[in-house]
Amino acid sequence: MCGAARYEISLKGVHTLACHCRQCQKHMGTPYSIFVVVPANQFNWLSKPSHHISISDRATRLFCGTCGTCIKWEGKNTPDEAEVNAMTLDDPSGLTINEEIYVRTRLPWIGALEGVPQYETTRPNE
């Protein structure tokens, strides 16, 4: 948001997911989060944020220490992937959601996306 932390990313073969877990809801302050997932070699920090938090033993979340924007989710079991907050892209308008995860904690006033696979917890391959 403020530009203190910057990255470049190739969206070739991007996989986009909506996460309804309580951690994302609380950390992002939204009903759900949208992440783009690409191979790790398609992501590069231009100026890496110095702040991070591990809410669970599954991942570390990197965020800007200046404005607080959550930028990247680094899964401990998925080091070959880069999972980036889609709303931090310069233009997220062309994305398509490929799956919804942690739908067991989806808020009751948020409907399922039609035709999108739904998972009670995490992605099957995670």
Task: Summarize pLDDT for 8-41 with one digit per residue, the tens.
Answer: 999 999 999 999 999 899 989 999 999 999 999 9
CA distances from 122 to 75, 100, 126 (A): 12, 9, 7
pTM of the model: 0.91
Place of tokens 């995490």: 122
Q: Which CATH architecture has domain 6-105?
A: Beta Complex (2.170)
The phi and psi torsions of 101 (rounded to 5 degrees) equal -120, 160
Could you give the CA distance from residue 12 to residue 88 in angstroms, rounded to a whole number? 17
Three-state DSSP class for residue 65: coil
Tokens coding 66: 């200046």
Q: What's the sign of the alpha-carbon dihedral 19, 23, 24, 25?
A: positive
Extended beta strands in 33-91, E state: 33-39, 43-47, 51-53, 59-63, 70-75, 81-85
Task: Summarize pLDDT for 34-56 with one digit per residue, the tens.
Answer: 999 999 999 999 999 989 888 77
Could you give the CA distance from residue 104 to residue 54 in angstroms, rounded to a whole number? 22
Tokens coding 74: 């680094």
